[in-house]
Structures are given as structure tokens and as C-alpha cells.
Amino acid sequence: MKAVSLFSGCGGFDLGVSKSGVDIIMANDIDHDAAVAYQSIFPNTQFVEKDVRLITKFPRADILIGCYPCTGFSSAARRRWKDRKEERDLTENDKNFLFQEFLRAIDSVKPKLIFIENVRGMLSANGGDFLRQQLEGFRSRGFENIEPMVLNAADFGVVQTRQQIFFVGFHKHLKPMSYKQPRATFGTEIRPHRSLRDVIADLPEWPEGEFFDGPFHGHYLTRNRKRDWNQPSFTVVADGHHVPLHPGGEPMSFVRKDTWQLNGDFNRRLSWRECLRIQGLPERMNAGESLWDKYRVIGNSVPPRLAQRLSSRAIATLGELL
């Protein structure tokens, strides 16, 4: 089976899909560093590095993947807007409507199966109207039995409590069917969540030049940023200022609402290499030139392990129907 991928980033989602034998024939992103990273993983995939709105033709494929950004509806963005009386201002951000380009691509690619990833805040944005617009667009193109699902990456073997929204849809011409949300495989008494010790314990404690060593400003200290060695990490984000703390040293302590305190002498942000491991991205990936590029490219990725768990059953089902 063949797939087209849009808003591909460094290829985390595509890597998970490819493990089911899918051939990614075209990928796209406007971010140069993400493009370089993607091609270091998928050197044989045609990569179109440009604004998706400038792409006039997409190849036909069985599967269409879209991790289109909705930055205005992320948790961080909505905190910045919390003092506004009306949330409609968020819609002025053009990036929030790139789902329309995904709909345009459906018309050309003619996929039988679609995968979409997005931020959790999108569900409630604009009173749910933003979600309704997307669902109407999918259904008008034949993907009728499609609903958002919230998945925690830690429940599927990724070493971080990262919650994201996913859509999986089969075209109605195959037969009336819906996708069943995968069951968690970690986080039970029998199989606990994987821990930071499992993935970064062998890395240097103080890797000079691989982490942002700037001050911890007031916003950073509004909540707990440190998990211990026996827990999964907090979410790896794309901004080096805000990545979680390394698990070494003493835990942070709660002072009062929106105020936490650092303790002891060992307090540093996770390095970009530790973030790479936590995301489950390949060590061979070229993550970018500067430290900020590396944090951004890695933090924006979908963990491949989660993508594989999400997609494998749907891809197997599609193979049976073709």
C-alpha cells in the first residue's frame, strides 16, 4: 500500500505507519529542518519542502496522513489568550485552518484510509465549532464513521504522558465500518508504564551544549516539571525553554497555587538527545543545526511507537479489503 503524508514534520507518524509495510511516496512540510530530518529517515521518499497551499497536485494513494498544525488551539496558546473575552480571535491564525488543505488533498489523493493527529485543545476550541467543521469536511468526502479519540502516549509504551487527538477513517465505499480505539498496553499492574530509567539512564548526566541552560523564569515554575527515574516524562515540547527537567536530583516542591520550587543542585532541562530518546525517534535522525532547531523538530513529532500502535490494525484491515 502507498501513502501520502502532509505536514509531515520529521516523520515520526510516518515511521510508525511504515512499520506495517506502507510505502510513503510523498511527504511535505514547510519547515526546512524538519525536511532535513525527514529525509535522513526516509531518503527514498519524494519530499516537497514548501507551503502546502502552493502544491497544486498530489499523487493517488491508498492512505493519506495529515498532522496539520492548529497552534492557536494548543494548551499553551490558549493560556496566552485566557484574558480575552472572545476566543474567536484565535481563528485569525491561518494555521488553524490548514485542515482545509488536507480536505483539498483528499479530493486528489482519493485515499481509502486517513490518519490525522492534532492537539487536544482543538476539541473544545470555539465551542466545538472548529471540530464540527473538520468532521463535516471528512464526512462530505466519504469518511462518515470518524470521531476524535484522545490517546496518552504512555499507555502505548512511549516514555512520556503526552495526550494527543487522533482521527482514523475508512472511506464508505469499502463498507460501513468504524475504527475501534486501540486498548492501552501499558499502565496496568501487569505492565506498568515505561520509565525514564528505561531510555535515558545510560546518557551523560551533564552533556554540555546539548541542553538549554538559561534561567528558570516565573512561568516555568508555575507547575511541576520533574518526574523521577521510575516514571515516564512529562510531555516533550518543541520549545527548549519549556522542556521538562532531567529526573536526577531532588524533586520539585509545591509552594502554593501556580508556584513550584526547585531543590538541590541538580536541576537542568532535558537535553535534545534525551528528548529524542523519549520520543522514540531514531538515533540516526538529523535533528537540525542549532539547539533550538533540534528541540523544535523533536518536540513537534508524533512518537513513532504510538503511531504504529494506532495505525497497524487499520492498515491490516485495509489490506484485507483491497
Return the closest-CA partner of residue 275 out of 295, 293, 292, 305.
Answer: 295
Establish if 169 belongs to a structural domain.
yes
Give the structural domain span for 42. Answer: 2-187+302-321
DSSP per residue, 117-142 = EE-GGGGTGGGGHHHHHHHHHHHHTT
Are 222 and 258 in contact by the 8 Å Cβ rule? The answer is: yes
Are 46 and 25 in contact by the 8 Å Cβ rule? The answer is: yes
Establish if 34 belongs to a structural domain.
yes
Query: Can you tell me whether residue 87 is helix, strand or coil?
Result: helix
Are 253 and 263 in contact by the 8 Å Cβ rule? The answer is: yes
Establish if 278 belongs to a structural domain.
no
CATH number of the structural domain spanning residue 28: 3.40.50.150
CB-CB neighbours of 56 under 10 Å = 6
Establish if 119 belongs to a structural domain.
yes
Q: Which pLDDT value is given to residue 74?
A: 44
Are 280 and 270 in contact by the 8 Å Cβ rule? The answer is: no
Length, in residues, of the chain: 322
Tell me, what DSSP letter sits at residue 156? Answer: G
Cell of 322: 483491497
Tell me, what DSSP letter sits at residue 88? Answer: G
Establish if 234 belongs to a structural domain.
no
Establish if 313 belongs to a structural domain.
yes
What tens-digit pLDDT sequence spans the chain (322 residues)? Answer: 999 999 999 999 999 999 999 999 999 999 999 999 999 999 999 999 999 999 999 999 999 999 888 654 544 444 443 444 444 443 445 566 789 999 999 999 999 999 999 988 878 777 788 889 999 999 999 998 899 999 999 999 999 999 999 999 999 998 767 788 999 999 988 899 999 999 999 999 999 999 999 999 999 999 999 999 999 999 999 999 999 999 999 999 999 999 999 999 999 999 999 999 999 999 999 999 999 999 999 999 999 999 999 999 999 999 988 8
Residue 39 contacts by C-beta under 8 Å, 6 or more apart in sequence?
45, 47
Q: Which pLDDT value is given to residue 93?
A: 53
Total domain count, the chain: 1
